[in-house]
Structure 1
Amino acid sequence: MPVVRALFVYPVKSCGAIALDRSQLDVKGLQWDRHWMLVDETGRFVSQREYAAMARIVPAFVEGGVRLTMDGMSEALHLPFEPHSGDTRIRTTVTVWKDTFEALDEGDHAAQWFTQALGVPVRLVRFAQDVTRLASRKWTNDEDVPTQFADGFPLLVTSEASLAELNARLAAKGVPPVPMSRFRPNIVVDGGEAFDEDFIDTLTIESASGGEEIVLRFAKPCARCPITTIDQQTGEHNAQWPAEPLDTLAAFRADPRVDGGLTFGQNAMVVTGAGARVAVGAQAQWEYRFED
């Protein structure tokens, strides 16, 4: 039977992960996942695709907020969960891929911290709770599925069996294995065969809250980008194998459903269980998708 093996949130889009034993689930995904984002001077999001060093910005949950650190920075940056009374943050227009909407600028101190950390002018924005950004209805059966600053969907689910298959293929080429962190998932499931997720419709997970079960629908295969080639600890490419694991994925994971993109993992949406807590070790089951 499948088991939830790991949970991760990324409070600042494209920066480091926080591994959790349990997390609150919302229709927008795991709590505080991709709640903040860096943008350039035009308001467009930036990521490890442009600045691999973002991987070295390490978040941690602390009392009342998120603490960010990075080697070489003399001080940490603290982001409160809730705005202070009399908050006067400016609304600004931001762009994530094809979506343009309003967000809240987190001020000059945060902008200066990230600008110093990355060596390029950037600003930090927070997702505004009165803003609705929807996943592509092409993949949601025309349902309205809200998300925050994620690339496109509330959750990303990956499989230990699929990673084992990929690493076996890397080993056959003499390439070192890659950790799951390269794929930046929210939920990692152990159980089943490699790439079973290609054929799964729903994943049901027992709730740690004792309430209704959590049901996730797999909406879209996740086409992978060059971020998978970046070591998430060092923020650097492997000098000997700079294009892995994408080179290996190209041999067997091109998916016509996403215009030939190299897929690993599934973007998912919350069907039931919003407000529940999901925990590592939770039992799960899945239902396969049967097509005519």
Structure 2
Amino acid sequence: MLAVKSVWQYYVPVGDVLRLLDVFRRMVNDSIRIGLLNDASSLRGLSFLSYNQLAHYDSPSCYKLCAISRAAGILAARKKSVRRGFPTRTPYAVRQQLVSCYGFKIENGYLRIPVSRGKRHSIALTRHTVEIISQPGVKVRSFTLTQNRLSLSIARDPPMIECASTIGVDRNLRNLTVGNDDHTRKYDLSKSVRIANTTVRIVASFTRDDARIRTAIASKFGHRRTDRVGHLLHAATKTIVALAVQRREAIVLENIEGIRSLYRKGNGQGRKYRGRMNGWSFGEAQRQIEYKARWVGLPIIRL
């Protein structure tokens, strides 16, 4: 089974790259506008409608195709929300980025991307990135550039590990408990609860009467919370998968989809308790375990 993940690093953009970031964003928005006018959300239909109208943009054709693909994804998500009865706004790409799965090369520790006809720009890859993409069987599928980050999507088809037993993973608010009849191990995640409580308390203390500034600052603390909790989960899930591979044990995950409905307003629970439980990162823990297990060929069983 093909396993996919990404590896990212910081980089310093040049003028040509910054120009392409803005051009790509405008091409996405033009494709979205064309799709809304013609009620088109499929990639094939949007390509027929948009490609010729993007001809005036000074950009390699590979980026035009990827801009149309991104717009098709945005329109398809909007169409799904409308079908499910959710209120939607007119979609618009705000963040500058450049995505492509065509035309790039990786040579001698550099990512070489086209910036204009006959001209390429080289971005130096870090040692960590080079080590990851140089592993046996790893292929680089696409790249994504923002104003200061480079992300490479990589894939490999690992051989499946034949397991002799299984271990279950119990996801709780303050810990991850892993084990079977022979052994049990608990990974403490209580720090993630303290991080969430601290973030909520800091954001609640804002008194500035400016919604835009308050939102920007709250977003900064929200990203900080996500990064810190994600690091704790990464350390725990990495150990879980490594030990499972060493012992040749398949990982069993419980299906707790819909558990958020237990902590809605009106269920007779306090506001702080509901806030604490709704800040539980059980989905992120599952995502990390699954992609790390797929990357090494370890079976995952969902119950």
TM-score for the superposition, normalised by structure 1:
0.28
Bigger relative CO (Cα 8 Å, ≥ 6 apart): 1
Give 1 or 2: higher strand fraction: 1
Q: Which has the larger radius of gyration?
A: 2
Give 1 or 2: higher helix fraction: 2
